[in-house]
A and B are shown apart, each in its own frame.
Chain A
Amino acid sequence: MSAKPKFAMYWAASCGGCEIAVLNIHEKILDVDANFDVVFWPVAMDAKYKDVAAMPDDSITLTLFNGGIRNDENEEIAHLLRRKSKILVAFGSCACEGCIPGLANFSPVDEIIDTAFHTVTTDKGSEVRLQTRYPAREGEIRLPTLYPTLRTLDQVAKVDYYMPGCPPESHQIAAVIDLVIAALNGKATLPPAGSVIGVGGSTVCDDCPRARNVKTIKAFKRIQDVRLDPTLCLLEQGIPCNGPATRQGCGALCPKAGAQCIGCYGPAEGVLDYGARLISSFASVIDSNTPDEIERILDGIPDPAGQFYRFSLPGSLLRAGKSARAK
């Protein structure tokens, strides 16, 4: 066993994009290897939970935890890694805010399972259902049980740092790894616990090159329905761009490419509820005083949950689904 600091990365309810983003730091990954002993990273190397459980507490210097807490396995490992890690980072939107898997909080678990096993996309009418326990010859086989809702990492364990993004941008990951290495060598200090790292201080608009004017919105439009001015602020053109409310960090990739920001970097510093903030902002620039017309303008946002809470539902003040129809 080397004396190098130990590194771990884990995926809970997530898509795996965060792991790709880490690998996407290219040769910088060699620095990780040079400076850290990678002790646990299921997507990259073989490891057993019991090996982690056998490590002394606080023995892992840095753990990047991505994914939300959807089932009992996720929660168990979250607690385990919390115990074993000095620095636990909620890595990526799922761990920070719940992200896309969190949108399932609008539905009860049996409905989610029905959708997965019992719709036109699978075998309609089939009686096949997910079983969490199966008595095999070798003994009972158990699958993790889904919880009624998905929770964020900090709803089950104490988190030291948050690194948002879906996934976090590779250059931000590289910078954070550089910082941690420098801090380990005594050449830098880590930000205060609870900070959001790998981000900028304001919002996506700060990196967006589009020209901005005073905003008055008469209609929300969908990007495929209009010919966009490539130099003008998307929101001013009626495209519901979440950039003004979304934390700086990605370099305004989507708006630069002509697509609206969908908010994966989460709320700006100090904003408690991303969706509520954005709703009041959009409402403020709607240019109408007649209820009917306002209603019509708002109809231009056909999926408000997806627009305002696509990444942040489980972490929001709504905590949607928690009591909604939960049995």
Chain B
Amino acid sequence: MTEKIGVYVCHCGTNIAGTVDVAEVRDWAEKRLKGRGVVVARDYKFMCSSLGQELIEKDIKENELTRVVVAACSPHLHEQTFRTACKRGGLNPYLCELVSIREQVSWVHTDQEAATDKAKAVLSGGVERVQHHEPLEPLRVPIHPATLVVGGGIAGIQTALEIADAGKHVYLVERDPSIGGHMAQFDKTFPTLDCSACILTPKMVSAGTHPNITLLTWSEVEKVDGYVGNFVVTIRKKARCVNTELCTGCGICQEKCPKKVIDEIYEAGLGYRKAVYTPFPQAVPKYPVIDKPNCTYFLKGTCKACEKFCPTSAIDFNQEDELITVEVGNIVLATGYDLFDPRRIPHYGYGRLANVFTSLEFERLTNAAGPTNGSIVLRDGKTTPKAVGIVHCVGSRDRNYNNYCSAICCMQSLKFAHLVKERTGATVYNFYIDMRTAAKAYDEFYQRVLEEGTLFVRGRVAEVTDAARLPSEEGKLIIQVEDTLAGKQRRIPVDMVILSAGLQPRFDAKATAKLFGISCSADSWFIEKHPKLDPVATMTEGVFIAGCCAGPKDIPNSVAQGAAAAARVLAHIDEGEIMLEPVRATVIAEKCSGCRICNNLCPFNAILFHEDRMVSEVNAALCQGCGTCVAACPAGAITGTGFSNEQILSQIEGLLMLNIANGRRPVEIAEAVMA
């Protein structure tokens, strides 16, 4: 053995030491792995502490270590810590190997003897592997100072404004005609009940007029090339059929357009818009779009009322989609959510029973700018309800639909209860499973609604029906529910039912994730790099996520995430260049016969095929080191830095070394830990 290896076994308090005999592992490594190059072995309470790190630094200097193996937690957590410690000690950081005896050993086993043996095996694998490590240098790539923000809801607006205010350019892309997102549809926001539009529209206007923001509404991202620091993004600007250079946003075209269309998006199907429209009066930008599939001119070839009346001749029926490409260094996705479709729960009657409303419909009903000018009335448009039932957790916390809690529905339902009470004086029932009001001033709001006299029934609603059993139920909607506090079935007649529908990932979230090279959970929410410690980054460098696209959130959290993502982006831009992990795949050109099996496998589009030489090549800056191509190459012509055959096979040999302890063979240890 030419390498001098230092081994450090961490107790992690009792996290590891509670199950693994750490001292025994250390003793064993010192004695039994001496022949494998181990010159020093230590155990320490918390290796990640500064004192623990100093142990390593000191040993590198004093014992002239050439390799370091730390047996502690998962590399996800502390690989960087120990690499940095090695660097401070004067050793190339990539000559350090972190083996997990916490996540892979102590946390998953209970038999102390077997777990100790397994820790030895894992450590032995690390010692064998580290011999084949090579000193590496991180890759440095320059960062383009512009940023792409996808999604113009509150999270995206916040991100764009934060970055733009810092003096950096932002392209804000929104697929609807206006920015604003779901927040623009709400009337009041919980728990303060301030007017949603009043707090949102100033931000929208700022985003629309900011010199550092290029606003691209009615646009969608088509293609993303490149990598962190140097993305090239192709954006489709859909034809508005309105020349924005000439349009003044006067609204005459909307007034004169003879075609009324049910507004399924902004008015949630409760109101009409025209075939040329802005979704709402405060829309940003102010320019309308022509809804081609509904426009009489596009359907029949005549009409052109908008064109005739437009004072600035801004209508252009011949406008076509335009593809533009922009260069950006970072991307923030704030693509939001879709509302759960309550039609999927047929026994709640939405779509069948007229006076069953979704939460978004109710938002429009209460909105002063909505179809009823803010009066809460039944579907007939005039009757004020005398009793209203609000059903929580519709499509959420339900194994038939979505297992997760949608986070906002409790507060939203309380807000609805308050608004109904305030505006109609009706009797209000809230049907909840558990009341979740865990944020600043949320529970106080709950208390307030309780005091206002809203009635709370704890239990999941079984059915909403119009089939009366008693004369008092005639003409009413009856809510059948098990009142789990009273311990009995109840039938509660009401005039109106509001279904507090849960939040779902966007219908096209998976495609979006693929487009930007990030991952989705099984539910289709975007996955953050670390759920606690890195909530706005993704596993793809330079692509960040904010707001509901990563999971249900309320407005304060979405705004916080938008700002957090902006801070991350600004830090990147400020650095000027970014260091990338040198774990990369490389094609050995002499061994590559150009079979092209790897060519379309790369999730980061890092593989390039040279027709002239008939070889494939990996672009090191694009490559994220995932190893897909390495595994796929039939000729073994692609190697992954840090994951060479030698490294992996010697690690396996280390794991399988016989007589690891007490003469037990690996298979016996495996059987013991599985038992």
A residues near B (Cβ < 8 Å) are 201-206, 212-216, 233, 235, 243-245, 248, 267-272, 277-278, 280-281, 284-285
The answer on a CB contact under 8 Å between A215 and B636 is no
Bound-state CA distance A245–B598 (Å) is 13
The answer on a CB contact under 8 Å between B591 and A244 is no
Quick check: is B198 within 8 A (CB to CB) of the other chain?
no
CB-CB under 8 A from B598, the residues of chain A are 284
**With contact pairs A269-B591, A284-B601 given, residues A203 and B596 touching in the complex (Cβ less than 8 Å):** no
CB-CB under 8 A from A205, the residues of chain B are 593-595
Interface residues of B in 592-645 (CB under 8 A from A): 592-601, 609, 614, 628, 631-637, 645
Quick check: is B467 within 8 A (CB to CB) of the other chain?
no
CB-CB under 8 A from A201, the residues of chain B are 590-591
**What is the minimal beta-carbon distance from A279 to any residue of chain B, in angstroms?**
10
Quick check: is B649 within 8 A (CB to CB) of the other chain?
yes
The answer on a CB contact under 8 Å between A202 and B635 is yes
CB-CB under 8 A from B595, the residues of chain A are 203, 205, 212, 215, 233, 235, 243-244
**What is the minimal beta-carbon distance from B638 to any residue of chain A, in angstroms?**
11
The answer on a CB contact under 8 Å between A215 and B597 is yes
The answer on a CB contact under 8 Å between A215 and B599 is yes
The answer on a CB contact under 8 Å between B600 and A203 is no
Residue among A202, A213, A280 having the largest count of chain B Cβ atoms under 10 Å = A202
**What is the minimal beta-carbon distance from B559 to any residue of chain A, in angstroms?**
36
Bound-state CA distance A269–B639 (Å) is 13
CB-CB under 8 A from A280, the residues of chain B are 631-632
**What is the minimal beta-carbon distance from A258 to any residue of chain B, in angstroms?**
18
**With contact pairs A272-B645, A272-B649 given, residues A213 and B596 touching in the complex (Cβ less than 8 Å):** yes
The answer on a CB contact under 8 Å between B599 and A214 is yes
CB-CB under 8 A from A235, the residues of chain B are 595, 597
Q: Which of B600, B631, B645 touches A215 (beta carbons < 8 Å)?
A: B600
Bound-state CA distance A215–B616 (Å) is 13
Interchain pairs with CB closer than 8 A, number: 81
The answer on a CB contact under 8 Å between A244 and B593 is yes
Bound-state CA distance A284–B598 (Å) is 8
* A-B contact list, 7 entries, CB within 8 Å: A205-B593, A212-B595, A214-B600, A215-B597, A233-B596, A270-B645, A284-B601
The answer on a CB contact under 8 Å between B636 and A267 is yes
The answer on a CB contact under 8 Å between A212 and B594 is yes
B residues near A (Cβ < 8 Å) are 590-601, 609, 614, 628, 631-637, 645, 649
The answer on a CB contact under 8 Å between B591 and A202 is yes
Interface of B is mostly: loop
**What is the minimal beta-carbon distance from B174 to any residue of chain A, in angstroms?**
30
CB-CB under 8 A from B634, the residues of chain A are 203, 244-245, 268, 277-278, 281
CB-CB under 8 A from A284, the residues of chain B are 597-598, 601, 628, 631-632
**What is the minimal beta-carbon distance from B524 to any residue of chain A, in angstroms?**
14
Residue among B597, B601, B637 having the largest count of chain A Cβ atoms under 10 Å = B597
Q: Which of A214, A215, A281 touches B633 (beta carbons < 8 Å)?
A: A281
CB-CB under 8 A from B599, the residues of chain A are 214-215
Name the residue on A nearest B596 (C-beta): A212
**What is the minimal beta-carbon distance from A22 to any residue of chain B, in angstroms?**
28
CB-CB under 8 A from A233, the residues of chain B are 595-596
**What is the minimal beta-carbon distance from B530 to any residue of chain A, in angstroms?**
27
CB-CB under 8 A from B631, the residues of chain A are 280, 284
Q: Which of B590, B596, B637 touches A214 (beta carbons < 8 Å)?
A: B596
The answer on a CB contact under 8 Å between A206 and B597 is no
Name the residue on B nearest A212 (C-beta): B596
The answer on a CB contact under 8 Å between A203 and B601 is no
**With contact pairs A202-B637, A270-B645 given, residues A215 and B632 touching in the complex (Cβ less than 8 Å):** no
Name the residue on A nearest B648 (C-beta): A272
Name the residue on B nearest A243 (C-beta): B595
**What is the minimal beta-carbon distance from B510 to any residue of chain A, in angstroms?**
10
Name the residue on B nearest A200 (C-beta): B593
Bound-state CA distance A216–B635 (Å) is 18
Residue among A243, A245, A284 having the largest count of chain B Cβ atoms under 10 Å = A284
Name the residue on A nearest B644 (C-beta): A270
Bound-state CA distance A216–B634 (Å) is 15
**What is the minimal beta-carbon distance from B605 to any residue of chain A, in angstroms?**
12
Report the 4 A-B pairs with minimum CB-CB distance, sorted nearest first. Answer: A245-B634, A284-B632, A244-B595, A205-B593
Bound-state CA distance A45–B594 (Å) is 45
**With contact pairs A269-B591, A270-B645 given, residues A203 and B635 touching in the complex (Cβ less than 8 Å):** yes
**With contact pairs A277-B634, A281-B633 given, residues A206 and B593 touching in the complex (Cβ less than 8 Å):** yes
Bound-state CA distance A277–B628 (Å) is 13
